[in-house]
Structure 1
C-alpha cells in the first residue's frame, strides 16, 4: 500500500522522504482538528442533555474516535518509515545504525517531554470531562503540529542533498 501512496509523482522512488514526512505532518494537523471537532460535539451533547455537572459518560459512540486514531497511527507509521529511509540514505555507511537509533531516541524523548510538558501546563482537563475542555488540548496539538509542519517545510527547502536528488 505504501508503494501506491508514495509513487504518485511518477518518479522512480515516488515522493521523497522529506515530502512523505511533510504530507504526514499535514495529516496530523487534520487529525487533531478532527478530534477537537468531535470533542466540541460531545461537549455540546453533554450540555444539551444536562450532563455537564454529572460525572457520567455522554451517550456517544466511542467509534467516533476511530477515524482520528486510525489516521494518527497510520501517519506515525509513515513518518517512521520516511525517517528511517532518510537517515539511511543520508548517513555515511559507518553511522547508519547510530543515526537510525538516534532518530528513534529523539522521537521517544520528544514524545515523553512534550506529553509531560503539555499535560503539566494544561489546567482545563478536570476529573469530570463534561466540565472540561479537552478540545482546547486537541486545538493546541493541532497548532503545534502546524508549527512543526511550517518548520519542516522551511528546513526541507534549505536542505542540501548530498547523495542525489530527493525532491
Structure 2
C-alpha cells in the first residue's frame, strides 16, 4: 500500500479546493501539523525503556519502524525525547519516510539499510501479525509478536510470542545467545 495515495490525495484535494499549491514541502508541513505529539503526561509502556536498554547492552541497534499516515521520523524523535527514550534509539523509520504503509517491505528494507544489517541479523518486534510479523518473515528476519493490550493469539508464525515488553527483552537475550 503506497502511503502517497491516501494521505497525499487527501491533502492535495483539500489544497486544490482552496486554490492553494500542493508542493512537497506544503504536504510535509501539513502532515506534521496533523500529527498529535506525545503529551508530557504520557508514559512509555511498562518495560519499554528496559527493552531498548537490553537491546543496546547486547550490542544491537534500535531502529523503530512505525506505520503511520501523518508522522515522519522527526515527529517521533520529538516524542522519544519527551519520553526520555531518545538516548536508547538509534534510528526511526516511518511509513511516511518509506513512502509505503506496512506490510509493504519498503519500511523494513529502509530500516535494514539504516541499521546496515542483513535481514537474518534483524529481529522485528511487532504487535500485528499481518503488518509486522509476516513481512519480516518474508524478508528472512527473526520475529517476536508482542500482545500487551490484546488476548494471547491462538496462532502466530512469529519465532516468539510475548505478553509484554519484559518477555520481549528475555526473548532478545535468548536469541542473541
Q: Which has the higher contact order (CA 8 A, sep 6+)?
A: 1
**What TM-score results when the alignment is normalised by the length of structure 2?**
0.29
Which of the two has greater strand per residue? 2
**What TM-score results when the alignment is normalised by the length of structure 1?**
0.30
Which of the two has greater helix per residue? 1
